[in-house]
Structure 1
Amino acid sequence: MAAETEYDTERLRALVARARVVLWDFDGPICGLFAQHSSQRIAEGFVEWLDTLGLSHLLTEEERKDEDPQAVLRAVDSRHYGSDLVAEMEKRLTQEELKAAPGAMPTPWADPLIRTWTAVGSRLAVTTNNSPEVVRGYLESRGLLSCFTPHIYGRTRDLGLLKPDPHCLNRALNALGAAPSDALMIGDTPSDLAAALEAEVPFLGYARNEKKEKHLRQAGAEDVVRSLEPLLRVLRG
């Protein structure tokens, strides 16, 4: 076990050493956005709303059961790209995220890790499928906004550019003038991994539980941590 821990620490040290820029996903690595405001209920609300509009045919039975509101939103967008319906759904999702933000639960060790990474000279950006307005509000409430400003790249009205598309990662890299090899992406979903691979950015998976880790590793993630604390130790060391 000691050898494995030493090996993992060395891998983390190598990832950190070359990371001049750190690209953070938001919901997961930085906080649990829906800790007190169920994302599953939001997804169910979308399905019920579409039913009342007589648009239940826009979703398959599998999509109707999806617990991720972004997945429901993207399913509708795939059939009515850029429509007023999709714009209204995206607006509703942003409103729900804003409601969730005050009850968001900070990810353990995220706040000191962000501050430490900033203090040692790395530049940070948020690359997320959540609303940038929500991200800014949360970071400001934690006293972390200055660590990222102005590099917050979130959901736009063009939902086809959400991860796994690397659009937000490429925007961040271009704005920061950074090469992909000088960056590190921290994410908690296979779509984060896919975006990082497409952008050729090294990836570190954060998994808050065994299920999350299994999904990341099945998607091909080689480096996954169950806590951000080892990263903080490496930085402080």
Structure 2
Amino acid sequence: MTSETKRTDAVTAGKRNETGTDDEPDALRHLIEGARVVLWDFDGPVCRLFAGHSAERVANDLASWLESRGLHGLLTDAERESLDPHFVLRAVDRRHPGSDLVAELEERLTQEELRATASAMPTPYADPLIRTWTAVGSRLAVTTNNSPRVVREYLASRGLGACFSPHIYGRTQELSLLKPDPHCVHRALNAMGAAPATALLIGDAPTDLLAARAAGVPFLGYARNERKGKLLRDAGATTVVDSLEPVLRLLRH
């Protein structure tokens, strides 16, 4: 058991420290009770995809592959040093949108993500929360910047595929539509016939919050560490948990 699984009281800590209030559990309860459709970001809320397969190494490998093709100048120094492979992919797409180069780079990233599923670490409490939400009649979808192939493989490995199928909305060849664009959120809502106000998006990054906000969907932030929590709150997230255990506990009551 990780230390994250033990931090069950921290749902109130962020807001109490900042405002001196203790109203975040009420906000969390309100979000859960209003959710008929739950949209999950994948890498973070469902699992740590790159727990055993370094995202930094993947980003460096993508940059090195571009350099091996004589495209060293395609990335700025900051982009080459990025720890996020999606950052590298977006950078190339901005300069060569829809190109064969971008398609090949995206496929290379997908293959790395597929390899990462073998060592991905389930987010504490995510599996039982997914099963419980399904059992009480809510419908679930994944809205992610990862490849939908990767999501389906991971969910199948955990026996969770039926909880989401067929509602997996991930990265397409149109990389400009990655979150923070709300494209994948709109796809999920439209396919499920759901009004934005009846949905809830669980995400761990400001891009998730911005996509939810653009689509008019309530947002629950999940932050496995203080850095991620600060990024979410600085972006405007008002309800952030550092464990999914309080969500599961409220849902079971």
Would you say same fold, with TM above 0.5? Answer: yes
Q: Tell me, what secondary structure is at the counterpart of 2:23?
A: helix
In the alignment, does 2:35 pair up with 1:19?
A: yes
Moved runs in structure 1, 4+ residues, more than 3 A? 1-6
C-alpha separation between the residues in 1 aligned to 2:32 and 2:230? Answer: 23
Q: Which residue of 2 aligns with 1:29?
A: 45
The aligned counterpart of 1:128 is: 144
Measured after TM superposition, the shift of residue 6 of structure 1 is 5.8
How far does the alpha carbon of each residue in 1:154-189 deviate from its partner, in whole angstroms, 9 at most, with x for none?
Answer: 000110110000000000000110000000000000
Correspondence for 2:107: 91
Query: Matched residues in 2 for 1:178 and 1:211: separation?
Result: 33
1:91 is matched by which residue type in structure 2? E
Aligned length: 237
TM-score w.r.t. structure 1 length? Answer: 0.97
Alignment of 1:168-179 (within 5 A): 168-179=184-195
1:118, 1:7 → 2: CA distance?
Answer: 27
Alignment correspondent of 1:156: 172
Aligned-residue sequence identity (percent) comes to 68
CA RMSD of aligned residues (A): 1.4
For the residues of structure 2 that align with 1:221 and 1:85, how far apart are their CA atoms?
36
Look up the SS of the partner of 1:178 in the other structure.
coil
Structure 1 residue 8, shift from structure 2 partner: 2.3
Q: Contact 1:206 / 1:224 at 8 angstroms: preserved in 2?
A: yes
Displacement of 1:107 in angstroms is 0.1
* Deviation for aligned residue 1:11: 1.2
8 Å Cα contact 1:128-1:155 kept in structure 2: yes
CA deviations on 1:61-107 (whole Å, 9 max, x unpaired) are: 11111110011010000000010100000000000000000110000
TM-score, scaled relative to structure 2: 0.91
Residue 244 of structure 2 corresponds to which residue in structure 1?
228
Give distance in 2, aligned partners of 1:10 and 1:233: 13
Q: Structure 2 regions of 5+ residues with no counterpart? A: 1-11
SS at match of 2:250: helix
Residue 60 of structure 1: aligned partner: 76
Q: Give the whole-Å Cα distance in 2 for the aligned partners of 1:112 and 1:6.
A: 27
The CA deviation at 1:209 is 0.2
Distance 2:131 2:75 in 1: 43
